[in-house]
Amino acid sequence: MSLRIRPAREADAGLLLSLIRELAEYERLAHEVVGSEELLRRHLFGERPAAEAVIAEVDGEPAGFALFYTSFSTFLCRPGLWLEDLFVRPQHRGAGVGRALLAHLARVALERGYGRMEWWVLDWNEPAIGFYRSIGAEPMSDWTVQRLQEAALRALAES
């Protein structure tokens, strides 16, 4: 097996959207995918990229991806790497693709002088949770996620 991790390119927008849809299906959230290739192109490869993505290829075929961006810790006074999504296609799970993607991101974080790497995991996703524990990740059980969706975001901005 030949495994390669490479940066996503603008021409990969369709592939990324396909992988995002596969991830959403796995997470039982397919109904929430409303993005498009054009939005991915604009926000990943446009004038001011908001995030980066890497693609894992096994024997030249797409096997998974990771999408990430820079966060910032006021306590560390250093940036961090926020992993928004990690996905490995089912036929490639258990072969080291996920670990290779995370190891790649860990190297990126260290090379850039970041102080940490963080991500969310759904509480029912026991295989992922077990995998994350095996690489040394620690749960942040004292924290809960808060989110403003578009309507609430707009209402707050207009208040």
Is 114 among the catalytic positions?
Answer: no
Q: Is 57 helix (H, G, I), strand (E, B) or coil?
A: strand
Q: How far is CA 118 from CA 2, 59, 109, 134, in A?
A: 28, 29, 11, 15
Sheet holding 52-58, edge to edge: 3-7, 52-58, 61-73, 78-88, 117-119
Of 26, 69, 114, 132, which is the active-site residue?
132
Indicate the residue type of 39.
L
Query: What backbone phi and psi angles, to 5 degrees, belong to 35?
Result: -75, 175
Report the C-alpha gap between 33 and 36 in whole angstroms: 9
User: What is the token pair recorded at 1?
Assistant: 């097996």
Distance of CA 155 to the CA centre of its chain: 28
Question: Looking at the annotation, which residues are catalytic?
Answer: 132
